[in-house]
C-alpha cells in the first residue's frame, strides 16, 4: 500500500466539515446510545446490578452464548483455514464459485439462516443430533476467517517453503513449522472476530434453540425477556456484561493486529 | 507453487478440495436450498399468495423504506469519515477508526436495546416524547435508528483503506489548477472511489434489509405496521404458517443471492481498483 505521507499542511479543504460530520454522527448514533447502557445498568445501584447480571440464570446464559461462540469460532478457524488454503493454492473448476459462496453469510439475513436450519432439522434430524444446537448456527459464518487468512496465505512466499524442502523437511513439517507460524496471527484475528460476533448472535439461534432458561437460553434472548418484563435496568445490566466481554475481545484483537503487522511488515 | 516439490500428492489435493466443497455445501448451500424447497413445496400458487398477502406486502414496503432512509445516511457519513481519516493526519485517528467499527462487535439485540433505553416508555426521553405524542420506539424512527446503528461501519470501512491508498496527489493537482473544494470532490475524488463506494453501499443495503435482532427489539411486532420482512418471517413461523414463512424468507434469500452476484461482478470487473480494500 503506497500511501502518500499525510500531514496537516495539505491544501485540501474540508477537514473541519468532514471530521465534524463524522464525530457528530458517531456520537449521536453510537457513543451516546451505548453510554446509556452503562449509565442505566448502574442506575438502580450495585445490588440490583448484580441481582440481574449475576443471577444464576444470567450466568447460564453467558456460559451458553460465549461457550457456543468459542466452539463455533474454533470450527470456523479449522474449516476457514481449509477453504482459504484451497482457494489460494489450487486452481480447479468451480474455484470462483466457491470464493463467491463463502461470502454468502455476509449477505444472507440471519432470520433466513435460522428458518433454513429449522427445515433441515425437521427433514433429516441428523444434523441436529451431530452438531450442538446453539453452536451450529453461529458456526455458519466462516467467511470472516477465510477472508482474514487468505491474503496472508497468498503472500506467504513459496521461496521459504522451497528452502525448507531443499533442507530436507517433509511437506507436513513445512506446513507446521513454516507456513502455520506465518498465518497464526491472522487466524487468531479471525477467531476473535468470529467469537465476538457469535456471542451476540440472535436471529439464527432463536429459531432452533429451545430457549429454555438454564439450558438453551442465550444471553441476547435473556435481554429481550427482561425488556418484555419492563426491567430496563436488568436488561441493561446483562447488556453491560456482554459489551464488556466483547470490548475486551476487541482490544485483544487490536493488539493481535498490531502484532501481525509487526511480524508481516 | 511452481516447484514440483511444493505440490501435495494429487490425492491429498483432491481430498482437500473435496473437503472444502463439502463444507461449503453443508453449511451454505444446504440451508439455502432448504428455504427454496420449503417455500415452493406446495406450488407456485401458494407461494404467490403468501408474498402478495397484505401483511407480507406491508413488510416488504417497510423494509424498502427503512433501507431507503438508512443507506443514504450511512453513505454520506461513510464518505465524510473516509475523507477526514484518509486525506488528513490528526491525533486519535486509530481510536476514531476503532470507534467506527464498534457496532460490528456489539450484539444486534444490544444495538436495539440502547434505543429503547433512550426513547422507550421508561427510557430517558420516554415521558417527554409521550407528552408530545412523538413515537420513536415501536414505530418507523426506531427501526431506522437501530438499522443505522447496525450498518454504521459498512461504507466507511470500504472507503478508508481505498482512499488512503490513493493518497492526495489527484486532489491537490485539481486544486492547483483552480478547482474549488466541492468541484474537486465531485470531479476527482468521487470518480476515483465510485466502485469501492458501490461495494460498500451494496453490503450496507444487504444488512439493512436483512437485519433481525436490532429491529426485533424496537419494532413492537405490529403486523402490517412495524414488521419488516425478517420479523414477518418469524411471526409467520411462530403461527405455524410455514409455507408463508418460507415464502417471505425465500424473497430475502433471493436478495442475498442478487447481492452476492453483484458483489462478485464488481470484484471481478474492478478488482484492480478494489485491490486496496482487501
Residue B50: pLDDT over 80: yes
Give residue B75's pLDDT: 96
DSSP SS3 for B254 = helix
Give the contacts of B224 (CB within 8 A, at least 6 positions apart): B54, B55, B58, B59
- High-pLDDT (> 70) share of chain A, %: 78
- Residue extents of the structural domains in chain B: 1-40, 43-274
Provide the shortest C-alpha distance from residue B117 to chain A (in Å): 7
- Which residue's entry shows cell 413488510? B59
CA-angle at B67, arms to B64 and B71, nearest 5° = 150
Distance CA A52, CA B118 (A): 20
Out of B100, B168, B263, closest to residue A103 by CB? B263
Distance CA A256, CA A186 (A): 8
Residues of chain B with C-beta less than 8 angstroms from the C-beta of A226 = none
- Asked if B256 lies within 8 A of A104 by C-beta distance, the reply is yes
Distance CA B5, CA B28 (A): 34
Interface test with B, best of A23, A111, A252 (most B CBs within 10 A): A111
DSSP SS3 for B212 = coil
CA-angle at B237, arms to B236 and B239, nearest 5° = 65
Residues of chain A with C-beta less than 8 angstroms from the C-beta of B106 = 34, 200, 243, 246
A2 inside domain: no
**Model ipTM?**
0.84
Q: Which residue does chain A place closest to B210, by CA atoms?
A: A109
Match domain B43-274 to its CATH number in 3.40.50.300, 1.10.10.10, 3.40.50.620, 1.10.3720.10: 1.10.3720.10
Residue A224: pLDDT over 70: yes
CB-based contact, B11 to chain A, within 8 Å: no
Distance CA A61, CA A66 (A): 8
CB-based contact, B262 to chain A, within 8 Å: no
CB-based contact, B115 to chain A, within 8 Å: yes
A32 inside domain: no
Residue B88: pLDDT over 60: yes
Q: What is the DSSP letter of B9?
A: P
Cβ neighbours, 10 Å, residue B41: 13
The overall average pLDDT reported for chain A is 78
CB-based contact, B173 to chain A, within 8 Å: no
Residues of chain B with C-beta less than 8 angstroms from the C-beta of A246 = 105-107
Q: What is the DSSP letter of A35?
A: H
* Among the listed residues B87, B94, B135, B132, the one whose alpha carbon sits nearest the alpha carbon of residue B115: B135
Mean pLDDT, residues B46-64 taken together: 93
A19 inside domain: no
Distance CA B104, CA B74 (A): 14
Sign of CA dihedral A240, A246, A249, A255: negative
In SS3 terms, chain B reads as CCCHHHCCCHHHHHHHHHHHHHHHHHHHHHHHHHHHHHHHCCCHHHHHHHHCCHHHHHHHHHHHHHHHHHHHHHHHHHHHHHHHHHHCCCCCHHHHHHHHCHHHHCCHHHHHHHHHHHHCCCCCCHHHHHHCCCCCCCCHHHHHHHHHHHHCCHHHHHHHHHHHHHCCHHHHHHHHCCCCHHHHHHHHHHHHHHHHHHHHHHHHHHHHHHCCHHHHHHHCCCCCCCCCHHHHHHHHHHCCCHHHHHHHHHHHHHHHHHHHHHHHHHHHHCHHHHCCCC
Structural domain containing residue A89:
37-264
* Among the listed residues A217, A243, A195, A207, the one whose alpha carbon sits nearest the alpha carbon of residue A60: A217
Q: How far is CA A219 from CA A61, A67, B115, B210, B215, in A?
A: 5, 11, 18, 21, 17
> Per-residue pLDDT tens for A94-116?
888 888 888 887 788 888 888 88
Q: How far is CA A51 from CA A42, A57, A231, A237, in A?
A: 12, 10, 12, 9
Give residue B2's pLDDT: 45
C-alpha cell at A186: 491472522
Give residue A71's pLDDT: 83
Distance CA B157, CA B96 (A): 12
Residues of chain A with C-beta less than 8 angstroms from the C-beta of B37 = 119
Residues of chain A with C-beta less than 8 angstroms from the C-beta of B3 = 158, 162, 165
Confidence of residue B209 (pLDDT cuts 50, 70, 90): very high
> Per-residue pLDDT tens for A175-206?
877 788 878 877 887 888 888 888 888 887 77
Give residue A45's pLDDT: 81
Distance CA B8, CA B28 (A): 27
- Asked if B256 lies within 8 A of A112 by C-beta distance, the reply is yes
Give the contacts of A73 (CB within 8 A, at least 6 positions apart): A191, A192, A194, A195, A198
Instruction: CATH number of the domain at A170, please.
Output: 1.10.3720.10
Residues of chain B with C-beta less than 8 angstroms from the C-beta of A102 = 24, 28
CB-based contact, B8 to chain A, within 8 Å: yes
Cβ atoms of B122 and A232 within 8 Å: the answer is: yes
Give residue A30's pLDDT: 92
A252 inside domain: yes
Provide the shortest C-alpha distance from residue A160 to chain B (in Å): 11
Residue A147: pLDDT over 80: no
Distance CA A110, CA A204 (A): 5
Residues of chain B with C-beta less than 8 angstroms from the C-beta of A29 = 145, 148-149, 152
Give the contacts of B90 (CB within 8 A, at least 6 positions apart): A8, A15, A19, B84
Residue B70: pLDDT over 80: yes
Distance CA B254, CA B259 (A): 9
Cβ neighbours, 10 Å, residue B177: 8
Cβ atoms of A110 and A145 within 8 Å: the answer is: no
Residues of chain A with C-beta less than 8 angstroms from the C-beta of B120 = 232
Flag the least confident range among A169-178, A225-234, B32-41, B230-239. A169-178
- Asked if B253 lies within 8 A of A82 by C-beta distance, the reply is no
Interface test with B, best of A107, A157, A163, A252 (most B CBs within 10 A): A107
Please return the burial class of A259, using the count of CB atoms within 10 Å of its CB with bins 0-12, 13-18 and 19+. Answer: middle
- Which residue's entry shows cell 468459542? A70
Q: How far is CA A227 from CA A32, A38, B121, B129, B217, in A?
A: 20, 16, 11, 19, 9
Residues of chain B with C-beta less than 8 angstroms from the C-beta of A207 = 234, 237
> Per-residue pLDDT tens for A19-42?
999 999 999 999 999 998 888 888
- Asked if B105 lies within 8 A of A113 by C-beta distance, the reply is no
Residues of B numbered 184-223 whose beta carbons fall under 8 angstroms of chain A's beta carbons: which are they?
184-185, 203, 206, 209-213, 216-217
Number of domains in chain A: 1
Sign of CA dihedral B267, B270, B274, B278: positive
Interface test with A, best of B18, B24, B250 (most A CBs within 10 A): B24
Mean pLDDT, residues B92-100 taken together: 89
Residue A159: pLDDT over 70: no
- High-pLDDT (> 70) share of chain B, %: 95
Residue B212: pLDDT over 60: yes
Sign of CA dihedral B158, B162, B167, B169: negative
- Asked if A26 lies within 8 A of B145 by C-beta distance, the reply is no
Amino acid at each position: 500500500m503506497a500511501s502518500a505521507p499525510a500531514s496537516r499542511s495539505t491544501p485540501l479543504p474540508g477537514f473541519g466539515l468532514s471530521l465534524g460530520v463524522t464525530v457528530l454522527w458517531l456520537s449521536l448514533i453510537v457513543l451516546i446510545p451505548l453510554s446509556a447502557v452503562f449509565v442505566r445498568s448502574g442506575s438502580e445501584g450495585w445490588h440490583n446490578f448484580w441481582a440481574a447480571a449475576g443471577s444464576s440464570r444470567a450466568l447460564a446464559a453467558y456460559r451458553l452464548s460465549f461457550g457456543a461462540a468459542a466452539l463455533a469460532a474454533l470450527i470456523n478457524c479449522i474449516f476457514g483455514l481449509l477453504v482459504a488454503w484451497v482457494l489460494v493454492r489450487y486452481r480447479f473448476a468451480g474455484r470462483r464459485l466457491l470464493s463467491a459462496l463463502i461470502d454468502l453469510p455476509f449477505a444472507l439475513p440471519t432470520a433466513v439462516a435460522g428458518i433454513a436450519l429449522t427445515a433441515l432439522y425437521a427433514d433429516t434430524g441428523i444434523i441436529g443430533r451431530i452438531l450442538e444446537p446453539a453452536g451450529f448456527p453461529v458456526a455458519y459464518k466462516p467467511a470472516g476467517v477465510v477472508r482474514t487468512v487468505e491474503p496472508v496465505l497468498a503472500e506467504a512466499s513459496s521461496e521459504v517453503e522451497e528452502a525448507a524442502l531443499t533442507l530436507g523437511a517433509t511437506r507436513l513439517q513445512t506446513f507446521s513449522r513454516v507456513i502455520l507460524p506465518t498465518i497464526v496471527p491472522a487466524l487468531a484475528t479471525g477467531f476473535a472476530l468470529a467469537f465476538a460476533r457469535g456471542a451476540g448472535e440472535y436471529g439464527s439461534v432463536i429459531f432452533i434453540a429451545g430457549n429454555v432458561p438454564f439450558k438453551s437460553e442465550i444471553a441476547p434472548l435473556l435481554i429481550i425477556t427482561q425488556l418484555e418484563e419492563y426491567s430496563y435496568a436488568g436488561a441493561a445490566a446483562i447488556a453491560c456484561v456482554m459489551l464488556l466481554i466483547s470490548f475486551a475481545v476487541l482490544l485483544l484483537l487490536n493488539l493481535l493486529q498490531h502484532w501481525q503487522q509487526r511480524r508481516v511488515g | 507453487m511452481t516447484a514440483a516439490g511444493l505440490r501435495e500428492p494429487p490425492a491429498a489435493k483432491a481430498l482437500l478440495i473435496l473437503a472444502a466443497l463439502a463444507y461449503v455445501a453443508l453449511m451454505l448451500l444446504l440451508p439455502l436450498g432448504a428455504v427454496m424447497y420449503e417455500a415452493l413445496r406446495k406450488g407456485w400458487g401458494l407461494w404467490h399468495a403468501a408474498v402478495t398477502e397484505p401483511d407480507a406486502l406491508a413488510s416488504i414496503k417497510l423494509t424498502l423504506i427503512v433501507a431507503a432512509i438508512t443507506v443514504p445516511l450511512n453513505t454520506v457519513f461513510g464518505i465524510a469519515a473516509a475523507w477526514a481519516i484518509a486525506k488528513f493526519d490528526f491525533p486519535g485517528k486509530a481510536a476514531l477508526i476503532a470507534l467506527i467499527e464498534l457496532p460490528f462487535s456489539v450484539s444486534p439485540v444490544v444495538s436495539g436495546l440502547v434505543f429503547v433505553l433512550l426513547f422507550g416508555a421508561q427510557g430517558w426521553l420516554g415521558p417527554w416524547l409521550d407528552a408530545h405524542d412523538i413515537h420513536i420506539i415501536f414505530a418507523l424512527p426506531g427501526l431506522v435508528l437501530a438499522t443505522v446503528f447496525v450498518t454504521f461501519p459498512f461504507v466507511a470501512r470500504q472507503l478508508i483503506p481505498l482512499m488512503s491508498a490513493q493518497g492526495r496527489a489527484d486532489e491537490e493537482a485539481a486544486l492547483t489548477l483552480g478547482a474549488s473544494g466541492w468541484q474537486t470532490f465531485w470531479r476527482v475524488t468521487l470518480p476515483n472511489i465510485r466502485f469501492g463506494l458501490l461495494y460498500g453501499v451494496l453490503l450496507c443495503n444487504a444488512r439493512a434489509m436483512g437485519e433481525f435482532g436490532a429491529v426485533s427489539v424496537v419494532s413492537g411486532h405490529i403486523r402490517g405496521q412495524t414488521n419488516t420482512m425478517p420479523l414477518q418471517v418469524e411471526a409467520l413461523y411462530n403461527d405455524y404458517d410455514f409455507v408463508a414463512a418460507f415464502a417471505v424468507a425465500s424473497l430475502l434469500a433471493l436478495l442475498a443471492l442478487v447481492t452476492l452476484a453483484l458483489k462478485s461482478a464488481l470484484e471481478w470487473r474492478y478488482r484492480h481498483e478494489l485491490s486496496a480494500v482487501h
